[in-house]
Amino acid sequence: GIIPRARLHSLIDGWENEILDATGAPARGMGESNPESSFGSGPSSDFFPQVPEGHVWCETCWVARPPRASHCRDCNNCVLRFDHHCPYVLNCIGERNYIFFFSLVVCANLLGIAVASGIGVWRAHSRLPTMWAAQAWFVLVVIVLSMCLPYMFGLMLYHIYLVSHGLTTKEALKDRLTSGDCTLQLRRRPSLLHARERVSAHTIGQ
């Protein structure tokens, strides 16, 4: 759900219209071909009247981001329906990948439950070896599970709460709700980044 920076909007034919459809705001508010070339001058005077209410101007990306979008300091990009930056997957969680993050949390819980159940069944039907190495292994696994399972289970319950209330993590932590729309979308809109598209030849030198 990354919103391309303003300097990239003119590189691909039709990209500006695609960004307009996704964000609801004009892709560029600058008069120059390279809007970030005159850093500090800001958007043109006729830009802000075209921006719908609730949009916020990003001084870093030079785009008008829609409600629920936010600029990630770690990725240094504006992300549609920004949830949080996850240190475990080293990526932003937003509109297009929240369903995968939620699935990861659920699967991690199921895996932990399966491992704990398997160890319990094994312990109940087998005699624990008297070797200190086997005992240390068993204790180590129990300690790791007892530390990880409650955390993962709590994280899953927290995101179930967020999904049921139509909130993102950032909105819940800052107690600021922009819109209560569903956050767990099964159908994702296409990415705004076209890494394999050919750029227009007449825009490369601009």
| Catalytic residue numbers, as ranges | 86
Distance CA 184, CA 181 (A): 9
Residue from 53, 51, 49, 62 nearest 3 by CA: 62
User: Which stretch of DSSP H or E encloses residue 37?
Assistant: none
Report CA-CA distances (Å) from 159 to 28, 104, 122, 147, 191. Answer: 35, 12, 32, 19, 24
Distance CA 166, CA 22 (A): 19
CB 168 within 8 A of CB 81: yes
Block residue for tokens 């830009």: 47
Block residue for tokens 């292994």: 137
Q: How remote is the C-alpha of 9 from its chain's centroid?
A: 21
